[in-house]
Chains A and B, each alone.
Chain A
C-alpha cells in the first residue's frame, strides 16, 4: 500500500508543485498587488481598495472591457468558422498519412515568432501595401485595412487558426465514422450530416477550440497595437497604459485580475457546455 502511495505521489506532487509555483503563487501575488500603493514610482505593500475604486469608476475601463469581450467573442467564432472546412477535410477526407502531414504542417507557423508574423502583415495590409497595390492594378479602389478593426481581426486569426484547426480535428476524431455513412444511407444530404451528426458529436472539441481562441484573443496585445493601431482600446492595451503612466502596477493588477476572473468564468461555462450530458 505504501509503495502504491509513493508511486502515485511521484505522479501527483511534481505537477501540483509546478502549478503552485508558477500559477497559484503568481496569481495570489497579482491579487495582493492590486491592494498595494505606489509611492514615488515605488511599490509599497498595503491593503487599500483605492486601486479597485479608481479603475472601476473609469468609464474607459468598462468601454475597454466591452470591446475586449466583443472582439474575443467575434474573433473566436470567426476563426472557428474559417477553420471548420480545413479541419473537416483533414479529419474525414485525407488518408492517414496525408492527415499526419497536414497536422505537422499546422505546427510550422509556430516556428516563427508571432510578433514577426504580425509585423509581416503590415507589408500586405498597408495603404500602399501588397493587397492595395494589386487592387489598384486591377482597377479597384484601394481600401484602408491597416490600423482598423479589420487589421486587428486578421492578427487574431493569424494567432489562433492553426490551434483551432488542430482542436477541431481532435473533436472530429471523436465522431464515429459509421454514423456518417448510416446518416448518408438514410438519405441525409451533406449539410444535414454536418449539422445533425458531426457538429453535435464533435461538440466537446469544437467548444474547446472556440474557448482557446477566446482565451488567446482576450489577452492579445500585438494585434490591436500593430495591426489595429490601438484605435480600439482593449484591456491588454489599458494594462500597458497604466504601467507606463506613473508605474501604476497595482491598477494594472486590478485589470489583470478582472481579466483572469472573466476568463475563468467563460472557461468553466464553456467546459460545462462541452461535456454536458456525457456522464
Chain B
C-alpha cells in the first residue's frame, strides 16, 4: 500500500505519534533520571546503614545508602587500601583507626561550621584522639561512644563482686570467663587492672607485667567468641563474666530480658568512640556531608542510640533530651539521662580512658600477646 492510498488523517496520526515519541523520549529519560535515587556508599560496622538508622535520611534526600559492612578496623583499612580512591563516600570508623585513616590521607577535610558541635558535650567538641582534629583542621566527627568494662550475669554474680576486675580470677568463675576475640580492648582492661592510668601508653616494664597478668588469667577462660558467640554464651549461661566488652553487646541482651549488664569497675573502663568522615575523592561530597549532618543531629543521634544491631551512647546533648522525652526507660537504661547518674559524669570523674593504639609498643606486639594468650 502506497502513502497515496492511506487516509491523510491516519497518516497524520502516525507521523504525529512518531514525532511526539521522538520529542518526548529525552524528557522521559530526563524525568526518570531526576526521580532515580542517587547512591551514597557507606563503609561501616554492621547495622549502621539499615533502615532503622538511615531510612528517614534516604527518604528525605531521595538517596540510597549502599552499605559495605566490615568486621574490625584492620578489615576496614584493608577494604579502603585495596579499593580505588573515591569508592566510599562516608566512612564510620573507631577512633583509633581514624588516626590511621588520616595518616594514610584517606579522609577529606571537613568544615567545622557544617556540624552541630555546639550541641555536643564539651568532651566531644574537639575530640582528642589524633586524626579527628589536626591543628585546626577537622577530618572526622564523633557520632557515638560506649564504655568497655566488666560484663556479668546478675543472677549468679553479686554486684559487689563486679566492682573490680579481680573478679575474673576468682575460683567461683573458673571456666566461666569468656572473651570477645579482639585483643586490644581485652588487654586494655587488664592494663587498667594492673594500675596503668593510661592503659595503652605503658613502658616496657609495665608491658612485661601486663603479659604476666594476662597469661595468669588463661586457666579461668571458657572460650574466645565472635559477636554471635558472645551473645549466645552469655545468654545461655556458659559464660558468666567478660571484660573488654560493653553495653554495645550486653545492651542487646539486656533489652531482650537477659540478666546481663556492664559496669565500670573501680580500676576504670575504656571508651570506644565512633567517628564519621568523608572518603578521599568522594564523588558525592555534598550528600556525604548531609548524611553526617543527619547522623549527628538529634533525630539521627536518637536513631543511632536505639539502633537494633548494637546500642551506643551519643555525644549530642539535644539527642539525650529527645531520648529522655520520647523513650525515658531506654534513656535511663543506657545512662543517657541528664538528671541522673550518667555516662558523661563517669568521664568527668576520670574513670574512663580512651581506647587507642598502643603508644610505646607496636600494635603487632599486643596482637602477638593476644595470640600467645589464646594458645597458652
Residues of A at under 8 Å CB distance from B? 40-42, 58-60, 63-64, 122, 126-129, 144, 146-147, 225-226, 228-231, 233, 237-238, 241-242, 244-247
Contacts and interface: CB of A to CB of B under 8 A. Distances in A.
Secondary structure of the A contact surface, majority rule: loop
B223 interface: yes
Given A40-B104, A245-B370, 8 more contacts: A41-B74, A41-B77, A127-B238, A230-B374, A238-B371, A245-B367, A246-B364, A247-B75
24 contacts: A40-B100, A40-B104, A41-B77, A42-B78, A58-B368, A59-B372, A60-B375, A63-B375, A127-B236, A128-B236, A144-B175, A147-B233, A229-B222, A229-B223, A231-B221, A233-B374, A233-B375, A241-B371, A242-B371, A244-B72, A244-B75, A245-B183, A245-B364, A246-B364
A271 to B, nearest CB: 32
B223 A231 contact: yes
A40 B80 CA distance: 11
B46 interface: no
Interface of B: 72, 74-75, 77-78, 81-82, 100, 104, 175, 181, 183, 221-226, 229, 232-233, 236-238, 363-364, 367-368, 370-372, 374-375
Contacts of B81: 40-42
A229 B225 contact: yes
A240 to B, nearest CB: 9
- Per CB-CB distance, the 4 closest pairs between chain A and chain B, nearest first, are A229-B223, A60-B375, A245-B367, A230-B224
Contacts of B375: 60, 63-64, 233
Contacts of B223: 147, 228-231
Given A229-B222, A229-B225, A246 B372 contact: no
A231 B367 contact: no
A225 B364 CA distance: 23
A144 B233 CA distance: 13
A213 B23 CA distance: 70
B221 A244 contact: no
Contacts of B183: 245
Contact of B237 (A41, A127, A228, A229): A127
Given A229-B222, A245-B371, A146 B78 contact: no
Contacts of B370: 241, 245
A60 B372 contact: yes
A111 to B, nearest CB: 23
B74 A147 contact: no
Contacts of B222: 147, 229, 231
Nearest to B72: A244
A226 B181 CA distance: 13
A73 B282 CA distance: 53
Contacts of A122: 232
Nearest to B366: A245
Given A41-B81, A42-B81, A42-B82, A126 B374 contact: no
Nearest to A245: B367
Which of B175, B223, B229, B236: most chain A CB closer than 10 A? Answer: B223
A248 to B, nearest CB: 9
Nearest to B221: A231
Nearest to B362: A246
A38 to B, nearest CB: 9
Contact of A247 (B78, B368, B372, B374): B78
A41 B224 CA distance: 25
Most buried by A among B233, B237, B370: B233
Nearest to B374: A233
B97 to A, nearest CB: 10
Contacts of B74: 41, 244-247
Contacts of B78: 41-42, 247
A80 B78 CA distance: 43
B288 to A, nearest CB: 22
Contacts of A231: 221-224
Contacts of B237: 127-128
B77 A241 contact: no
A238 B371 CA distance: 8
A237 B375 CA distance: 10
A251 B36 CA distance: 46
A245 B368 CA distance: 9
A225 B370 CA distance: 16
Given A42-B81, A230-B223, A231-B222, A241 B374 contact: yes
Contacts of B363: 245-246
Contacts of B82: 42
Contacts of A225: 226, 229
Nearest to B375: A60
A259 B77 CA distance: 28
Contacts of A144: 175
Best-buried of A126, A226, A245, A246 by chain B (most CB within 10 Å)? A245
Nearest to A238: B371
A230 B74 CA distance: 21
Contacts of A233: 374-375
B75 A229 contact: no
A228 B224 CA distance: 9
A118 B233 CA distance: 15
A136 to B, nearest CB: 14
Nearest to B104: A40
Contacts of A40: 77, 81, 100, 104
A63 B262 CA distance: 34
A126 B229 CA distance: 12
A128 B81 CA distance: 45
Given A42-B82, A147-B223, A230-B224, A247 B236 contact: no
